[in-house]
Amino acid sequence: MDWLKLSTIRINSIYNGLFLGLCYICNTKSKTTICKHCHDNFPKNEKHCLHCKRSTHKKNILCGRCQTSPPQYQLCIAPYRFEGIIKTLIHSIKFNQGNHYIRPLTYLLSEHLIQIYSSDSWPDQLIYVPSHPNRIKARGFCQTKAMSDHLLKNLQLKIGDQCPFKANNNPLRKLKHTQAQHSLSRKERLKNQKNSYEINTPIAKHVVLFDDVMTTGSTIESCTKLLLESGAERVDIWVIARTPDKIDQS
């Protein structure tokens, strides 16, 4: 018996019971990080493109963009829409030092991932979309690194030896300090990301690329292309939320 693992699980259980038994949103008693009432009000991404998870008006269809020019990644997981409380929490993390919201968001994503990969093979390597050092210096941290670290811990705790990720050593680096993506059009975003990243160490054949939010997909597509050119044979995408098109926000 692995006594070290058993004691760690027991300590986590006691700590969670004493200090983390409250919903992160409304502070009511809850066995999970987000109570059912609050989670029911999260904007779930239920109607979406089968491939890129872009919000659509109908379920189980391919959007026009994926029909004409499908992205090169194989699987995209985006359980929420980037609006309402999800948008507020992620903005708080990125711009208002709301790092305590990382835990509930990555907890919810890990629950979703475990369900999806129960019938699929887990990736062998977790790679996150990094920020440029200048942006990290201005913000004080890289939110995707912090989120992927928490996500890794959640998965290791929940699925144990089934979790293939043993460390979060990121091979992806951002070279160019580009203008913030949310302020640009899709055409400008695509140009903005050209030659912005590099891979500096070998990567696995099946990798996952993590980001907090996918908007037009330009960053994800640029990094996916680089990963495939660097030796990956399959790239999965994990994001917490997908930004709806303006037409879907009415």
Residue-level pLDDT, tens digit, the chain, 250 residues? 455 555 666 666 665 555 567 888 888 888 778 888 999 999 999 999 999 999 888 888 999 999 999 999 999 999 999 999 999 999 999 999 889 899 999 999 999 999 999 999 999 999 999 999 998 888 889 999 999 999 999 999 888 888 888 777 899 999 987 665 555 555 555 555 567 899 989 999 999 999 999 999 999 999 999 999 999 999 999 999 999 876 544 3
Residues paired with residue 236 on neighbouring β-strands, in sequence order: 75, 208
E strands, the chain, in order: 75-77, 80-81, 125-128, 172-174, 197-199, 206-214, 234-242
DSSP string, 62-119: --HHHHHS--S-SEEE--EESSHHHHHHHHHHHHS--GGGHHHHHHHHHHHHHHHGGG
User: Domain for residue 175, yes or no?
Assistant: yes
**CA 150/CA 102 separation, integer angstroms:** 7
How high is the mean pLDDT of the chain?
Answer: 86
In a domain, 21, yes or no: no
In this structure, what CATH number is given to the domain that contains residue 217? 3.40.50
Taking the model in full, what pTM does it have? 0.84
The pLDDT score that the predictor gives to residue 2 is 55
pLDDT single digits (tens) 33-61:
888 899 999 999 999 999 999 988 888 89
| Domain membership flag for residue 29 | no
Rounded CA separation 133/176 (Å): 9
Residue span of the structural domain in which 98 resides: 42-248
Structural domain includes residue 115 = yes
Domain membership flag for residue 33: no
Residue 36 within any structural domain of the chain: no
Distances (CA, A) of 10 to 6, 22, 110, 160, 172: 6, 19, 20, 14, 35
pLDDT tens sequence across 170-185: 999 999 876 655 555 5
In terms of Cα–Cα distance, which of 208, 215, 217, 124 is closest to 172? 208
Q: Is residue 156 domain-resident?
A: yes
Domains identified in the chain, total number: 1
For residue 34, being part of any structural domain is answered with no
